[in-house]
Structure 1
Amino acid sequence: MTGLSNYSAFSFLNYITGQAAMPALPAVYLALFTAVGTDAGTGFTEVSGGAYARMQIAGSVTTNSATTTSSAVIGHAAVPSWVVAGMQAYDATTGHVVGTVQSTTSTTVTLTANAAFSIGSGDAINYSAFPNATGTSPASSSNGATIAFPTATANWGSAMAWGLYDALSGGNLLFWDYMGYFPWLPATVSAASPGVITAHAHGFANGDSFVFTTEYGGTAPTFAAGSYTGLQTVAGVTADTFSVTGVNTSATGNGALRKVGAQSIPSGVTASFSPSTFTLSLA
């Protein structure tokens, strides 16, 4: 349920228990989903067609010249188009964050300030839309660069979730979450037509989207009509309660829910996500 995929969780646990090295990660791509699946990486409906493609948000580029701490310019034989302003530059050869990308040319990357550490010719610079994780409990990282997809040439539908992969197509799902960084709230459901959901001080408004789950504990209510499967729409809001039109319950239940900031992407729209739109968080 949101967060690390099975692939990432198993790889991490095998690594910290000394059983296997972490997998090499040469590039990371961000995908958009119109329906979600499981942590095993199956069951997701990814946007397709209409000029859609996963966007590369991290990768490694080798330098072809040295950069001193009195310069903000990093030289490469060729700068890939996915390297954009706002990305963090990390020298994987020396293990130092050297700065934040301000601009690029076909062969250079200019940082917002002089390089924080010297960079050698032939060093591997990892550029990422996400800076190093910060915080204590939980640690988190939000995109520092704007992530822009190609202009849709057909209706992409409503993107309700996003995920990170290690390949442009196929590959391993690394992490996923719903759109909008909202907290999970404990909720109870009464038997009624429509069923009444109680979540103290939920802050929802009529028309908001949400998802409901019992994965964190609880027992799903018995439904006389409809269900809480998939993306739901809030109606009948009070300070602590709301309902879903047409979803009737015949027995009580409980679980957890969260708001989802689903994004409709019709033809002709360029889906561009500003900094702090996507947040990775681990307890």
Structure 2
Amino acid sequence: MNGQLAEQKQSFSKQPASSQPGKWKAFYYKFRKNKLAMAGGVVIVFYLLVALLAPLIAPHDPYLVDLVNKLKPPSAEHLLGTDDKGRDVLSRLIYGTRLSLAVGFVAVLIGAFFGIILGLLAGYYGKWVDTVIMRVVDVLLAFPGILLALAIVSALGPSLVNVMIAVGVFSIPMFARIVRGSTLTVKKLEYIDAIRSLGAGDARIIFVHILPNIMSPIIVQATLRIATAILSAAGLSFLGLGAQPPMAEWGAMLSNGRDFMFTVPTLALFPGIAISTLVIGFNVFGDGLRDALDPRMKQ
């Protein structure tokens, strides 16, 4: 009898999750048919490689001041020209890729970590736990994200680290609501009742059997949220609340370039193109992930 129970428990612990090879093959087949999403993936990979190889591919020191050659147009020596302090714009764009991606990933990690924990607790335990958590989430959702980030950065002080925290905080409610809804669905399935009857504790049920089976919407939301985080961080830096001089950050470069819109428009043009292409890349890639991971979407 004990051997039979152990065998049943082992079979339940191997409950199929979204990482099954067959499901991943089906996901890849559907995803690669979305040419726009594939293009978004190429853009993301390109920027990731630029960020990783920045010291090798940057033609100049991004922080080297050369007032003699300030505000130079694009040339063979400076492919995208120089800014008002003579710094190479291309090199600053390349190093700015690191900062923008770091802000996006760190902010989303902060939002996802706390959002997932809150969503799992609210969805699994319900009752007063659900009520308290979701009312706090509703309060956060009552504020527009950028205004909430502005308030947080104003309280903590202008810096790139505080921007990551601020953007991460206003990302928490989205993850919490998505995880709560998915948890409410999964916890009603029969295999969860069977696992509980075999003596599994709440922590094991939540993190071993529920969380792996709700990863699809979390991954999609995280991908889309990175684009929002990058755009929000650039906006805060543009307002002077994010990256501080002389940091090579795209939003700060865009803010600096607006003073020379009529004399050297490329100073604002190139950072704007970099922000736009990266944000669009993450958005279309996230849309492709959503369509490929959603079983209701038929190709």
Q: Normalising TM by the smaller chain, what interval?
A: under 0.3
Higher relative contact order (CA 8 A, sep 6+): 2
**Structure (1/2) with the larger helix percentage:** 2
With normalisation by structure 2, the TM-score equals 0.24
Decide which structure has the larger Cα Rg and report it: 2
With normalisation by structure 1, the TM-score equals 0.25
